[in-house]
Amino acid sequence: MLSLLLILIAAAFFSGIIVRTKSIASGRKGPGVFQPIKDVIRLFKKGAVYSETTSIIFRIAPTIYFASVVMAILVIPFDESKGIISFKGDFIFFAYVLALGKFFNIIAAMDTGSSFEGMGASREALFSMFAEPAFFILMGSLALLTGHTSFQEIFYSLHVGSYISYAITTLATFVLIMITMIENSRMPIDDPKTHLELTMVHEVMILDNSGFDLGLILTTGYLKFAMYGALIVNLFIGMVPYQYSIPMFFIIQFIIAVVVGLIESFMARFRMGHNAQYIFALTSVSLLIFFGVLLVLEKFV
């Protein structure tokens, strides 16, 4: 329950910190930290408009997308506290409950009958498919290192002590940050502010959503940022007492948000044809983590 509360608090600030970082980096005053939340509240007060070509799939997809992320958050532990849902192999459940929400988001875009939104949906599916092996190799490597298969036991047993374990943790942080950028369709994979039709991915998928549904989709994106940030936090806190781990949670979340803002400020979007190669290259980084774990466990003959 503690992890859910912390993630909800972090989600309220995360996107606003990214926006502020980008504003400061570009020399602009920019909106306040709470502006994204204000935008969502404004959308929640509006009604949704549906095209006559859409079916029930389009109407229920935002709710399922939101519910899938909330369900995934319930699996994430914090320090000694288990997630509300915790069992052996729960990281597999985590990945595929997110995939369920992504699936409904994709078919909702196709349900509009627009080839434009279908183009974005196919790209979203391709990018998620290439990111999936990197996540499973990473979590499988950590499971092999700790001897456990649930999030809580993996993170609680993970001790950073040797040079190799420092390298493993650093690479794992990099992989999770990049997966966060991919899953939230951010730079350098996608530009959430772009209006160039041929390079839009997530934004083109939600062009037909409005009002409450659009607010739900935006809220889900904020939650996903904080959710992956919580996974990164768990790599570092281990068995730290709560009086230290809770401040560390918000400090690390703040640092991640600033890093995301700086990436989006100083990196150009990749060419669309290179995105798949770049995302699949994350699997190679996860394989380096796997080989590092084998070194730590002295499994090489």
242 vs 82, more confident:
82
Instruction: Band the pLDDT of 285: cuts 50, 70, 90.
Output: confident
% pLDDT > 70, the chain: 90
What is the model's pTM? 0.86
Section 171-193 average pLDDT: 78
Confirm whether 17 is domain-assigned: yes
Confirm whether 12 is domain-assigned: yes
Instruction: Band the pLDDT of 198: cuts 50, 70, 90.
Output: low
Under 8 Å between Cβ of 105 and 205? yes
Confirm whether 80 is domain-assigned: yes
Q: What is the pLDDT of residue 202?
A: 67
Under 8 Å between Cβ of 216 and 65? yes
Give the total number of structural domains in the chain.
1
Q: What is the CA radius of gyration of the chain?
A: 19
Dihedral angle sign, alpha carbons of residues 21, 23, 24, 26: positive
Q: What is the pLDDT of residue 239?
A: 66
| 267 SS3 class | coil
Confirm whether 93 is domain-assigned: yes
Dihedral angle sign, alpha carbons of residues 245, 185, 111, 208: positive
- Match 């798949």 to its residue by tokens: 276
Section 212-224 average pLDDT: 88
Does the pLDDT at position 6 exceed 80? yes
Q: How many CA atoms lie within 13 A of 168 on its CB side?
A: 29
pLDDT per residue as tens digits for the range 23-67:
888 788 877 788 888 888 888 888 888 888 888 888 898 899 999
Confirm whether 121 is domain-assigned: yes
Q: What is the pLDDT of residue 160?
A: 60
Q: What is the pLDDT of residue 286?
A: 87
- For 118, the domain range is 2-296
DSSP category for residue 46: S
Confirm whether 301 is domain-assigned: no
Measuring CA to CA, how many Å separate 124 from each of 95, 118, 164, 261? Answer: 16, 10, 34, 22
268 phi, psi to nearest 5 deg: -85, 155
Q: In 47-75, which positions are buried (b, 16+ CB within 10 angstroms) versus exposed (e)?
A: ebebeeeeeeebeebbebbbbbbbbbbbb
pLDDT per residue as tens digits for the range 141-176:
888 888 888 888 888 877 665 566 777 888 888 888
| 126 SS3 class | helix
Cα pseudo-dihedral 25, 205, 75, 97, rounded to 10: -150
Q: Among 206-220, 242-256, 265-279, which is the least confidently predicted range?
A: 265-279
Confirm whether 290 is domain-assigned: yes
2-6, 21-25, 158-162, 219-223 — which one is most confidently predicted on average? Answer: 219-223
Q: What is the pLDDT of residue 71?
A: 92
Q: What is the pLDDT of residue 8?
A: 87
Confirm whether 248 is domain-assigned: yes
Dihedral angle sign, alpha carbons of residues 266, 272, 277, 279: positive
Q: Supply the mean pLDDT for the chain.
A: 82
78 phi, psi to nearest 5 deg: -150, 120
CA angle 233, 79, 135 (to 5 degrees): 45
